[in-house]
Structure 1
Amino acid sequence: MSGGAEAGELSGGAEATRGPARRDAEATKTAILKAVRHLLARHSQADITLKAVAERAGVSAPLILKYFGNKDSLFAQVMSFEEDAAALLDAPLADLGRHMVRHVLVSQSERGADPVLRIVFAPLHRERGDVLRANFRTQVVDRLAGRLDGPDAGLRAELAVGALLGLGVMFGIARGERLRASDVEDVVERYGPLVQAQLTS
């Protein structure tokens, strides 16, 4: 958000009660939450400052406090994977493996991280790591399992997601040189069937 938008939100008065101002406020909140999800996919919560969130979101730290109260309240709102899972699983089952692989690679290459990968940092988030794990199992793995036919749907969902996370870690954290230099669609064609094999067994 621009400084002008932020100033408008902080100025109060009649303008703040109108539709466009409310939409600006919601857009700002969304930008802040997206910034936190992005940073959590790359760093532990303890290492993330409000200043870093503010810079990523294009707002001021005081504006974050205005909307979310404090850092703990802010981070409590980003423990959910609902929105991330909706994008990750947004494809017909027959093409879901390739879609999931493409989603992770594009997120990594274009945005620097896939928000789903923040589960990798769960051990660093102390007690909130347990919340993160529970949400990940329910909102990502169990949601995927619910779409699968045949036996062992839960296990197959875990294996498919595990393969996907491995790819994301190799790309974004281990930073595999050959993988990062490869064309996305080439990797999709190579790795997508590996994931798909668990989805349609």
Structure 2
Amino acid sequence: MRTMTTPPGQAPAPARRDAEATKTAILKAARFLLARHAHADITLKAVAERAGVSPPLILKYFGNKEALFARVMSFDTDADDLLDAPLDGLGRHMVRHVLASQRERGADPLLRIAFAPLHGDHGDVLRANFRAQVTERLAARLTGPDAGLRAELAVAAVVGLGVMYGIARGPHVREADADAVADRYGPAVQAQLTPRGPGTS
């Protein structure tokens, strides 16, 4: 009797998908906790409980707490999503993205910067990553004078919105339609990205 076998190269696929899903859950849990607690106060046990896995599994995938949080303290993927729009509509997109992150994921990954320790290596890494991966990356897309300042002001505006929604829990912002907020707040962000001055059309 012939035994059915899985074609070569196909069997590992589900395991790889499961591994990626598990890694994503761990990173999401660590980001959630880092958006609410100081790095030093977060344990692997807390991350594991939030992710629904065991602490040894975190060690298997990331090696140790420091390696896990090195990944968590990167803003690259978050910046990809935040800045994923043409420049002329980016302000509204950034506002909409922050609201969607809060409502769909329960946290805005950018808010990790608000919890960066004032002193110590971890705070320095988080701030350096934020500058390089978010504000300086945005500034590189801008034209005209004071691009760095304008990028920082635009990002400050959306981080402030995230604070109002996720930390201060402003009831009016939380209850408002996301598109309505984007329509009101987006132009304030856009004014830094594409300022209209004398002689501009």
Q: Distance in 2 between matches of 1:99 and 1:139?
A: 18
Matches within 5 A, 1:95-110: 95-110=89-104
What's the offset of the Cα at 1:101? 0.4
Aligned partner of residue 84 in structure 2, secondary structure: coil
Matched, 1:60 2:54: yes
- Pick aligned residue for 1:149 from 136, 143, 154: 143
Q: Distance in 1 between matches of 2:115 and 2:75?
A: 14
What's the offset of the Cα at 1:185? 1.2
Q: Conserved in 2, the CA contact under 8 Å of 1:46 and 1:125?
A: no
1:168 counterpart residue number: 162
1:14-42 Cα deviation digits (max 9, x unpaired): xxx83332332233222212221222122
Percent identity between the two aligned chains: 76
Where structure 1 has 5 or more consecutive residues not aligned to the other structure, the ranges are: 1-16
Question: Residue type of the partner of 1:145?
Answer: A
Q: Conserved in 2, the CA contact under 8 Å of 1:45 and 1:125?
A: no
More moved, 32-41 vs 153-162: 32-41
What's the offset of the Cα at 1:125? 7.3
1:91-140 Cα deviation digits (max 9, x unpaired): 11111001100111111122111111100001267320000000000000
Q: Distance in 2 between matches of 1:165 and 1:113?
A: 12
Q: Distance in 1 between matches of 2:93 and 2:50?
A: 27
Higher helix share: 1
1:78 counterpart residue number: 72
Where structure 2 has 5 or more consecutive residues not aligned to the other structure, the ranges are: 1-10, 196-201
1:18 counterpart residue number: 12
Aligned residues between the structures = 185
1:41 counterpart residue number: 35
Q: Distance in 1 between matches of 2:15 and 2:161?
A: 41
More moved, 34-43 vs 161-170: 34-43
Q: Distance in 1 between matches of 2:120 and 2:101?
A: 26
Q: Conserved in 2, the CA contact under 8 Å of 1:40 and 1:115?
A: no
Question: Residue type of the partner of 2:92?
Answer: R
**If the length of structure 1 is used for normalisation, what is the TM-score?**
0.86
Runs of 4+ aligned residues of structure 1 deviating over 3 Å after TM superposition are: none
